[in-house]
Amino acid sequence: MILSDTRILEEVEKGRIVIRPYRPECLGSNSYDVHLGPYISTYTDPALDARKANPIVETKMPKTGFALVPGQLYLGVTEEYTETHGFVPFLEGKSSVGRLGIDIHSTAGKGDEGFCNYWTLEMSVKVPVRIYPGMPIGQLIYFEISGKVRRGYDTKKDAKYRTVSQHPTASRMHLNFSRRSRK
């Protein structure tokens, strides 16, 4: 079941949903709007390797914007830090963003219960588009969980994206391979 605006606000007040900064005007009927943070990153190598840490270069976007071009993967980040305790958050692009041809995530639109961080965005575009820091970029939708969660993301020792950062985080897929080789 998707949480309504009333329920999201109740859970924010209880501290089970944390959004910083919280802006009341960003609360929709059944979602909360998030904004694009100031940093955008790209991988330095043209071919990525899932078994290796792929280096990125980060740019702080100027207020005049940053042009995204087709064929390039960009890692962005939300301006908002979030925590979710007892619910599953989904990040979806805003329709206005989609109508500009911007995809904000490739496959990582679901957060886990216990996720406490900024959201890294895997951005790509269909046509060249100029984006701006602070622009609305997506919306968080919260789902109720059926049953008890044994291990939230914030308590998993092997969770790869627990280090809190206001900067885009590159893929850590290579850690899966190193864990398997230790077994």
Q: Is residue 23 part of a domain?
A: yes
Q: Could you tell me how far CA 121 lies from the centroid of its own chain?
A: 5
Residue-averaged pLDDT of the chain? 91
pLDDT in tens, 124-178: 999 999 999 999 999 999 999 988 888 877 777 777 777 788 988 887 888 888 6
Give the pLDDT score at 43. Answer: 96
Domain extent for 140: 5-171
pTM for this predicted structure: 0.90
180 in a structural domain:
no
The per-residue pLDDT for 107 is 76
Query: How many domains are there within the chain?
Result: 1
Confidence band (pLDDT; 50, 70, 90) for 102? very high
pLDDT at 74 over 90: yes
**Residue 131 included in any domain:** yes
Would residue 176 count as lying in a domain? no
Report yes or no on 183 lying in a domain. Answer: no
Q: Which CATH number fits the domain that encloses residue 84? A: 2.70.40.10
What proportion of the chain, given as a percentage, has pLDDT over 90?
74
User: Given 11, 83, 122, 144, which residue is catalytic?
Assistant: 122
58, part of any domain: yes
> Is 144 a known active-site residue?
no
| Band (54; pLDDT cuts 50, 70, 90) | very high
